[in-house]
Structure 1
Amino acid sequence: MSATTLPLLLCLLSAVTVALANFAVKRGGDVLSARMVLSITSALCVLPFAFFVPFPEAALWPAIAMAIGAHWVYQFFMIRALHRGDLSLVFPVMRGLAPLATAIIAVFALQEMPTLLGWAGLALATLALIVFALPAGKSLDQASLDRVALMWAGLTALGIGLYSVTDAYGVRLAENRFTFIVWLFMLDWLGTTAVTVWTRRGELFKRLRPQLIGGAVGGVSSVISYGAALLAFSMTDAATVTAMRETSVVFGAILGAVFLKEGFGPRRIVAACVLAAGLLLLETSL
C-alpha cells in the first residue's frame, strides 16, 4: 500500500463512521445525554490501550490540554446545532465548512498553505453549502429556526477547524502518536459528562436510559472515526485529512433522510454531490 493510499483509506473510514456517530446521537432525541454516553463509551473503548502505550511526556500535556479544550468547544456548538436543526441540514453545513475553517487556521498555526486549486475547491464546497441550506417551502417561523440552526452549525465548523489543528499539532508532537490518541479519548468525556450531570440533575437516569444503545454505537464509531483521522493527521496535512473526512456530509444527509424522514429532495442531492466534489478537489490539490 502506497504512502498516499493509506491516509486516503483512513479518511474514508473516518468519514463513514463519523456520519454514523452523529446519526446515532441525533436519533436518540436528547442529544446532550446521548453525547455523554458516546464520550464515556469512547473512553472505555481506549482504556485497555492505556496500559500498553507510553505515559504522555511532560511536553505533550499542554498539547493534550489544548486539544481537549478545543473538543469541548466543538461539542457544545455541535450539541446546540443538532438540537436546533435536522441532521440532513446541520450535519452537511458543520462538517462541510470545517475544511475551510481548518485551512484558514492551519495557515497561521501550522504554516500549511493550500494551493490556488485548493482554495477553489473550498469555494465550490462553500457555494454548495449555501444552496444546500436554503429553506424550501417552509413557513417563516421554520425558516427562522433554520437560521438559528445554521448559526450553530457554522460555529461547530469553527470548532472542528480548531480541534483539527490542535490535534494535528499534538499527534505530531508526541513521541508515540498512539499516546496522544489514547489520552485524548481518556480525558475528553469529562466536559460533556459534567455538563450533562448538572443540567439533567434529578432526571439523569431517566434521560440516559433511552440513549444507551445509540450512544454506545456512536461511541464505538467515534473511536474508529477519530482514531483513523488522528493517524492520518500524522501522515499528511491537516486540511487534507479534514477535507477527505468531511465527505461524510453525504453519508450523514442520506442517513437523516432515510431513517429520520428528514427532507432531502433533488436540490440537496445535487448540492451534497457538488460539496463532496469541492472537498475532493481540495484534497487532490494538497
Structure 2
Amino acid sequence: MLAIALGLASALTLAFANLAVKLGGDILVGRAILSGSAALLLAPAALFVPLPDAATFAALGWAWPAHLIYQACLIRAMQRGDLSLVFPVMRGAAPLLTAIGGALLLGETLSAAGWAGIALASIAVIAFAWPAGGAWRAHPDAVALGWAAATAIGVALYNVADANGVRAAPSPFTYIVWLFLIDWIGVTLAALALRRGRLAAALRMQWRSGLAAGALSIASFGAALYAFSLIEAAKVAALRETAVVWAALFGARFLGETGGRRRLVAAVVLVAGLALLQVAG
C-alpha cells in the first residue's frame, strides 16, 4: 500500500512539475532551473544518508546517461508539441518498455493479464498520436511525437537503471540524494552553451516556476525511487504514468490546448490499462 500511495503521489506531482516547466516558456531553461534547484534543496541531505559505496557509484554511472538522454528528448518534445499530446505518449509508452527492460535485465516477470494491461495502455497511446483528420502522411505533430517516443525510451532506461540503483545502494535514500546531486550537470551545461547571453534574462523570468518545479520534482521522483525498492519497476512505472490524466486536464485548463475531450478519454483508457497491470501483477 505504501508503494501504491507513493506511485500515485508521484504521478500528481510529476504532472504539476511539467506544467510548471511548460508555463515558464523556455523549456531548456526551465529544466535547468528544475534540476539545479532540486540539487540545491537536497544537498544538505547528503550529510544524513549513508555514504555511497562502489555499487552506488556504478549504478549512478549507468543512470546518469539515461537521465541525460531522457532530458534531451523531453525538452525537444515539449518544445514541439502540446503538453496534453506529448506527455501521455512519452509517459504511457514507458511502462511497456520498462516491463521489457525489467524482464530482461532485472529478472522480473509479469502475468498474462499484466501484459494485457500494458497492451491496452499501448492502444491508448496510439489514440493520443492519431491525427485528427486520420491522415498519417504529413502528420502535423510527427516531429513532436517522434521526440515523445524517444523520451519514452529514455524513461524506460532510467526506470530500469534507478530500480537497480535503489536496490544496490546502502540505503534507497543514498541513491535518491546522490542522483539528484549529479542530475543537474548535463542540462545546465546545455543551457549555458545554447542560451549564453539570453540565459540571465530567462532566469529572471522563470526562476519562480523553475524553483516550484524543482521542489515538485523532488517529491515526485523521490517517491517513485523509494517505491522502486518496494515493488517491481514496471508496477511503479505504471502507477506513476497515471499522471497522463492530470496532464490532459492541465493542458486544456491552463494552456488552452485543443483536443481535450479525445485526449482525456484516451488518458482514462491508458490509466485503465495501467491499473490492470498493477492488479494483475
Give the shorter-chain TM-score range.
Answer: over 0.9
Confirm whether residue 282 of structure 1 aligns to residue 277 of structure 2: yes
* Residue equivalent to 2:163: 168
- Alpha-carbon contact 1:102-1:165 (below 8 Å) kept: yes
* Matched pairs, number: 281
Q: How many Å apart are 1:237 and its aligned residue?
A: 0.1
d(CA) in 2 for partners of 1:266 and 1:204?
A: 37
Q: Quick one: distance in 2 between partners of 1:105 and 1:88?
A: 26
Measure, in 2, the Cα distance between the counterparts of 1:78 and 1:102.
Answer: 17
What residue in structure 2 maps to residue 9 of structure 1? Answer: 5
1:132 to 128, 131, 135: 128
Q: Does residue 1:153 correspond to 2:148, yes or no?
A: yes
| Matching residue within 62, 83, 101 for 1:87 | 83
Cα distance in 1 for partners of 2:27, 2:182 equals: 20
Distance 2:133 2:66 in 1: 37
SS of 1:225's partner is helix
Whole-Å separation in 2 of the counterparts to 1:113 and 1:147? 34
Residue 204 (structure 2) pairs with residue 209 (structure 1): yes
Query: Take 2:170 and 2:110, find their aligned partners in 1: how far apart are those partners?
Result: 27
Given that residues 85 and 263 in structure 2 are in contact (C-alpha distance below 8 angstroms), is that contact kept between their aligned partners in structure 1?
Answer: no
**Whole-angstrom CA distance in 1 between matches of 2:4 and 2:275:** 11
Aligned partner (choices 67, 70, 79) of residue 71 of structure 1: 67
SS in 1 for 2:230: coil
Question: For residue 47 of structure 2, what is the aligned residue in structure 1?
Answer: 51
Cα distance change on mapping 1:138 and 1:113 into 2, 3 Å: closer
Change (3 A) 1:32 1:238: same
Cα distance in 1 for residues equivalent to 2:261 and 2:255: 17
Kindly indicate whether residue 174 of structure 2 is the aligned counterpart of residue 179 of structure 1.
Answer: yes
Question: Deviation of residue 135 (structure 1)?
Answer: 2.5
Q: 2:259 aligns with which of 261, 264, 272?
A: 264
Give the SS at the match of 2:141. helix
C-alpha separation between the residues in 1 aligned to 2:213 and 2:146? Answer: 24
Structure 2 spans left out of the alignment, 5+ residues: none
Aligned equivalent of 1:240, options 212, 235, 239: 235
Counterpart of 2:219 in structure 1 is 224
Distance in 1 separating the partners of 2:40 and 2:146: 33
Identity of matched residues, %: 53
For residues 54-96 of structure 1, the C-alpha deviation after alignment (integer angstroms, 9 at most, x for no partner) is: 2211222111121111111100010010001000000010011
| Counterpart for residue 144 of structure 1 | 139
Counterpart of 1:113?
Answer: 109
Q: What TM-score results when the alignment is normalised by the length of structure 2?
A: 0.97
RMSD of aligned residue pairs (Cα, Å) = 1.5
C-alpha deviation, 1:137, in angstroms? 5.3
Partner AA of 1:49 in structure 2? A
Q: 1:279 to 1:186 in 2, by over 3 A?
A: same
**1:207 to partner: Cα distance:** 2.1
Amino acid at match of 1:73: I
Quote the Cα distance in structure 2 between the aligned partners of 1:116 and 1:229: 25
CA contact (8 A) 1:85 1:145 kept: no
With structure 1 as the length reference, what TM-score do the two structures score?
A: 0.95
Q: Deviations over 1:81-139 (max 9, x none)?
A: 00010000000100111101101111111011211111111111111111122222599
The AA in structure 2 aligned to 1:281 is L
